Structure 1
C-alpha cells in the first residue's frame, strides 16, 4: 500500500506542477511531451485525475494516525 501511495502522490505532484505551468506560463508540459490530446496524453490526464481522487483518502488516514 505504501508504494501505491507514493506513486499516487508523485502523479498528483506532476499534475500540480503542470497546472502551475499552465497558469503562470501558458505551457502545458503533458501536451508538449505526449501530443495534443493524443491517446497517451489522455491516459496521463486520466491517471492524474484518478490519483487526485484517490489522494482524498489521505485525509481520513491522517486523521486516524493522529488519534
Structure 2
C-alpha cells in the first residue's frame, strides 16, 4: 500500500471516529479543535477526509495482493482409496501371477 493510500486511510479513520463522536455524544471534535464547523481550517479537514474516503474507494474494489493462488493441481474425480466400502485387492491372485 502506497503512502498516499495510507494517508487516505488514516484520514478516513479520523472521519469515522469524528462521526462516531457526533452520533454517540453529539460532540464534533474537528469543529471544537479548529473553531467551529464554519471555520476555514475545519472545512479543510472535512475536505481532506472526504478526499481520503474517495481514495479509499479504490482500496475497496482492489483485489487482495496477499492472497495466495493455489497452483494448478491434478484433480482426481474418483480416486480408489481402497476403503472399507471399496473393493479389496486379492493378493493371492497377484502372487500366483508373479510365480
Please classify the TM superposition score into its range, dividing by the shorter chain length: 0.7 to 0.9
In the alignment, the residues of structure 2 paired with residue 60 and residue 17 of structure 1 have an alpha-carbon distance, to the nearest angstrom, of: 23
In the alignment, the residues of structure 2 paired with residue 39 and residue 18 of structure 1 have an alpha-carbon distance, to the nearest angstrom, of: 18
How large is the RMSD of aligned CA atoms in angstroms? 1.5
Unpaired runs of at least 5, structure 2:
70-99
User: Does the alignment pair 1:42 with 2:43?
Assistant: yes
In the alignment, the residues of structure 1 paired with residue 14 and residue 23 of structure 2 have an alpha-carbon distance, to the nearest angstrom, of: 14
Unpaired runs of at least 5, structure 1:
none
User: Does the alignment pair 1:14 with 2:30?
Assistant: no
TM-score, normalised with respect to structure 1: 0.88
Q: How far 1:35 moved relative to its partner?
A: 1.1
Q: What is the count of residue pairs matched by the alignment?
A: 66
TM-score, normalised with respect to structure 2: 0.61
Structure 1 consecutive aligned stretches of length 4 or more whose deviation exceeds 4 Å = none
